[in-house]
Chains A and B, each alone.
Chain A
Amino acid sequence: MTTTMEKIEGYLKQMNLTYKVIPSEDRIILPYTIEDRRFLLIVDRSDKWVRFFIIIVEPEDLKNVNRAELYASLLEANGQLAEVKYFITDQGGVGVIGHEGIPSLSFEGFQEEYNALPFAVSFFIQNIATKLKIKVTGIPD
């Protein structure tokens, strides 16, 4: 029987993407270049959900940012963004995340969710980061 992670790997191969599997964590990592910056797109799973996420900004890059204004911008954008949502980590970083239910997992649904993440990162860089003067560096090569 095909496991969920094998199914996901099959979808990634179908999409011709380069990825790295971390079996001990049931996690797949994909490097992704968005707006000339490098990010890591992470795919993992729980009992019921496949989770896709990208950390856009680490907390240390948000030290001088007006948090109330940043959070209001993220929540307002969440009302318009399809499929994915902005969130904050326990440490105060900003990311974008999407979930797909395992029982209803299909290639089309996976692809839609996957493609929505880079769009949301671009939206953050072009609109929210520009407005609030947040430096988005991505991760080093």
Chain B
Amino acid sequence: MNLSYEVKPVKGEIHRVVVPYSVPEPSLKFDVVIDVSGQFVRFWVLIMLADRVKSKKRREELYTELLLANGQLAEVKYFITDKGDVGVVGHEGIEVLNVDNFREEFRAIPFGIVYFLTVIAKKLNLSLTLPTKDELSIYS
């Protein structure tokens, strides 16, 4: 896939690789985090912090759109952390891991980010910028 990456030390039994990635339209740069733990490889990126949506009503609207999209988009899975931050995640079983399904899972992440920004965030009038590295440092 010709991607550069960095192996990052993390606490516990997780092995982490971070892949800097960019998409041209809309112009975005983000790190795809790949965690290997137990039986699964987990691909994930956090795309919006919880504090960007203040009211309960707006939060419910956002969650509704994320859960509808989960049913409509193959492979893209939106989730929230225990802090309420929004992300996109994919899993692949280690036993069935091969280059084809690795590529499939990996590509779903940028697709999920672009869909979030250009469709969901736009529809709900939310910020169209991704969190900064500093804002995401609590997850390192």
Where the two chains meet, the residues of A that have a C-beta atom closer than 8 Å to any C-beta of B are: 46, 48-49, 51, 53, 67-68, 71-72, 74-76, 78-79, 81-83, 85-90, 95, 97, 99, 101, 103-104, 106, 108-109, 112
Contact = CB atoms under 8 A, between A and B. Distances in A.
Given A49-B74, A78-B79, A85-B77, A71 B63 contact: yes
A84 B40 CA distance: 13
Contact of A71 (B60, B98, B100): B60
B82 A76 contact: yes
A104 B60 contact: no
Contacts of B40: 82
Label chain B's interface by main secondary structure.
mixed
A118 to B, nearest CB: 16
Contacts of A112: 93, 95-96
A89 B86 CA distance: 20
Contacts of A88: 64, 67-68, 70-71
Contact of B91 (A68, A71, A82): A82
Contact of A87 (B39, B70, B91): B70
Contacts, number: 94
Interface string B71-90: 11011011111101011010
B139 to A, nearest CB: 12
Interface residues of B, number: 35
Closest 4 CB pairs of A and B: A87-B71, A79-B79, A71-B63, A78-B79
A78 B96 contact: no
A104 B98 contact: yes
Contacts of A86: 67, 70
Contacts of B117: none
B62 to A, nearest CB: 9
Given A79-B81, A104-B100, 19 more contacts: A46-B74, A68-B56, A71-B63, A72-B63, A75-B66, A75-B80, A75-B86, A76-B80, A76-B81, A82-B42, A83-B91, A85-B77, A88-B67, A88-B68, A101-B101, A103-B100, A106-B96, A108-B95, A108-B96
Given A82-B40, A104-B98, A104-B100, A75 B67 contact: yes
Nearest to B98: A104
